[in-house]
Structure formats: C-alpha cells, structure tokens
Amino acid sequence: MLQITHNDGGELFCALLNFMRFKFAIASDLHITLPHTVFDHPGRFHLVEYSIPAFEVVLEGLSHTDIDFLLLPGDLTQHGEPENHQWLSDRLQRLPYPVFVIPGNHDVPTPQSMELFPSYYSHCGYGHKNRLYYSYQLMPEVRLLAMNSNWFDAEGNQRGRVDDQQLDWLEQELAHKHYPVNLVMIHHNLLNHVPGQNRNPIGQRYILENAAAVCEILHKYGVQLVFTGHLHVQDIAYDPTYALYDITTGSLVSYPHPYRLLEFAQANHTYKLDIISPRVSSIPEQSDLLNFSREWMANRSSPFVRRLLMQPPLNLSSALVDQVLPHLRYFWSAIADGDAVFTFPDLPEPARSFLEDFSDRPPADNQVSLTLPL
C-alpha cells in the first residue's frame, strides 16, 4: 500500500495526486461446497466438489504476493447453504488482508436468504446488516462501491436487477462523496461479454435488466471500472459510450479455474491497470485439473450449445444442429478461457458467421494493461 512520510499536508496532497499504487486480487464464483452438501446432477457444469481445494490454492498463491485487498464478486456458495456461508466467512476472517464480498444469485436463492447474507460477512464490507450494498474507503483516494444485483419480482422469481432505492444510493454516493478513484463490484454483468448477450434468451440472465440505468449513473460521475462475475468466462468488455470497462472473472469451479491479480497505478495524467490471470492447474484431488475440467465441460456443453443454435437469431433446424455440433466440442471452454479466436471454414452459413462472431474483441481478456484518463 502507498506510504508517504516526511511531508507536510500540501506536499502529501501533491504526492497523492501524482502517484498512487495498489495491488489487489479477484476470485469469482467460488461456489464453496462442503463435501456433505454437494448437490450432484449428471448434467451440472460446476465442479463444486473441488471448490474448497481450488480456493485454497488461490489463497496459497496470494500469500506470496503483497496485495492490499481481495474482491469476491458473488456466488460465494453452491446454493446459499448456511454451513457453506459460515465456512467461507470463517476462512476469510483468518486472512491477513481485507476481503470484500457481494451476493450472487446462488448465495441468496430466496428473499429470506437475502436478509441473512450480510450477517455472515460483517467483516467483509457489510457495516449495515440490513443492507445488501455498501461503500468502503479502501485508501484516502480510492472507494469501493459494492452492489447487490439480486431482485425478486412479485411472483417470487429471482432476476438480475438493481432496485430504485439502490440506484438512488449510488447517485448520492457519487454526487456527495467525491473520490478520484471508484471501483464498482457487482455480480451480474453490465456490458455484453458475448455477442447479443442482452438480447439472447440464454445470455440475458447474466446481465442486469436495467444495466443502462446503472451505466448512465457511473458515466455521469466518471466511473471507469466495474468488476463482475456470474457468466463463468474470462472477458474484459469496453463500452465507449460510457467509457466503461466491465472486467468479468471466470469461476473457480469451472474451466479454466482462473483468478486475477491487478495493479493500479497513477502517475501524472493517467491511471494504469495491469492485469494478469493465473489458473488453478492442480489440486490434490486432480493433478491435471485443467485438462480434466476442459473435458468435463466439453462432455456437458452440447445441450447448452444446441439451445444457442436453435433459438433466435440463428434458428437452425435440429438436423443442421446435429451436423454442426461435432465441430463445437470445445466451443464454450474456449470462450470461458478468454481471448478466443474461432474459424469454422467447414460450417455452412449462417452458422459459420454466427459462431465466428464469438471470437474475442479487444481488449485482451487475461493479460492486459489498461490506460485510463484521470
């Protein structure tokens, strides 16, 4: 963390204005699952039985760094089980650096569970036990705005939405409490990470229903960085209209089991964010976790990809999907890995163009340096 000594107030202000540096990490969608709580299903994507050993590998890796804090942007547990929340809460309390959390859809599957969530993580940002969002001063010039994106409609259906009360809170925080650097953490995506995500019936559930309303407030006050999860892919999206980066991090229980190490620096008239993305490649239970996990995903992704091809906008026939699917065994794992480049010269149109459009667009997803204006 930045330390400056032997300066009077004016010199300290100038030093802060011209130089700021801090390091942090992100691990997302942990889906922590104690062995006796594992919910098994033949078609499940998530290797939840490896959630705890994978997280321990991450914590071991972080013990050799000098991070200032750790962000966990939701889906902390398998299905919001109290014992899984309690295990994670206890584990986080023993770490030597601050940890900040928000709920994902898996953490609060019922309105009642939403009420309980802050009580597990009072040491992880939740000063108000009756509120699912908060702000936290990370250092004199830097604030974290941690938001809840879980909402239940009148029929009790869980949706991705920021309610009006929280939108008002966000506006008030940004308008009346100025910080040069604001970091936002929220579970659901704000920007599209795959083509047409906000219009596609499959992709819509991973993006906020009222993402534009949130983005407009953030843009109004110059917020440039949002950290999300939920989608289980490595991707960094940028929207020039809002001058906003949505940095989403893949899941620790899905291929490629990534986490992120980030270094933020300010010098002169720019900010710089350097990102690297290690993987959990081995755990005691699986010495070759990445290969095992990639095959696991490949063996279970066909129904998902089939739906993608047969619904709008492509609307392929079942017979044509049967022809295309053998070419797509590792399609979703490549997207999850980040920085995907697809070429399908043997596929017929319009399937070829549709699928090749899933190739990644700049910026890079895993190793990248972002330059941000002050």
pLDDT tens digits, 315-326: 999 999 999 999
For 280, the token pair is 């959990």
**Is residue 8 over pLDDT 90?**
no
If you average pLDDT over residues 290-305, what whole number do you get? 95
**Is residue 301 over pLDDT 60?**
yes
Count of CB atoms within 10 A of residue 182's CB? 21
**Is residue 299 over pLDDT 50?**
yes
Report which residue type is found at 159. R
**Is residue 89 over pLDDT 60?**
yes
Confidence of residue 140 (pLDDT cuts 50, 70, 90): very high
Residue 20 has a pLDDT of: 86
If you average pLDDT over residues 296-302, what whole number do you get? 94
All domains in the chain, ordered by first residue: 9-281+367-373 (3.60.21.10), 289-356 (no CATH)
Residue 335 has a pLDDT of: 98
If you average pLDDT over residues 7-35, what whole number do you get? 76
Distance CA 140, CA 207 (A): 32
Confidence of residue 269 (pLDDT cuts 50, 70, 90): confident
**Is residue 16 over pLDDT 80?**
no
pTM of the predicted model as reported, rounded to 2 decimal places: 0.94
DSSP string of 308-366, one letter each residue:
HHHSTTT---HHHHHHHGGGGTTHHHHHHHSS-----TTSPTTHHHHHHTTS--SSPSS
If you average pLDDT over residues 227-238, what whole number do you get? 98
DSSP string of 82-106, one letter each residue:
HHHHHHHHHHHHTSSS-EEE---TT
Confidence of residue 357 (pLDDT cuts 50, 70, 90): very high
Residue 58 has a pLDDT of: 98
If you average pLDDT over residues 245-273, what whole number do you get? 95
Query: Which is higher by pLDDT, 2 or 238?
Result: 238
Residue 14 has a pLDDT of: 46
Cis amide bond preceding 109, omega within 30:
no
Residue 13 has a pLDDT of: 47
pLDDT tens digits, 31-71: 999 999 998 877 788 999 999 999 999 999 999 999 999 99
Confidence of residue 3 (pLDDT cuts 50, 70, 90): very low
If you average pLDDT over residues 283-311, what whole number do you get? 95
> In this structure, are strands 99-101 and 244-248 parallel, antiparallel, or unpaired?
unpaired
**Is residue 2 over pLDDT 70?**
no
**Whole-number average pLDDT of the chain:** 93
If you average pLDDT over residues 210-234, what whole number do you get? 98
Please tell me the total number of residues recorded for the chain in this structure.
374
If you average pLDDT over residues 343-352, what whole number do you get? 95
**Is residue 4 over pLDDT 90?**
no
**Is residue 289 over pLDDT 60?**
yes
For 59, the token pair is 């914590």
**Is residue 7 over pLDDT 80?**
no
Residue 42 has a pLDDT of: 77
pLDDT tens digits, 158-214: 999 999 999 999 999 999 999 999 999 999 999 999 999 999 888 999 999 999 999
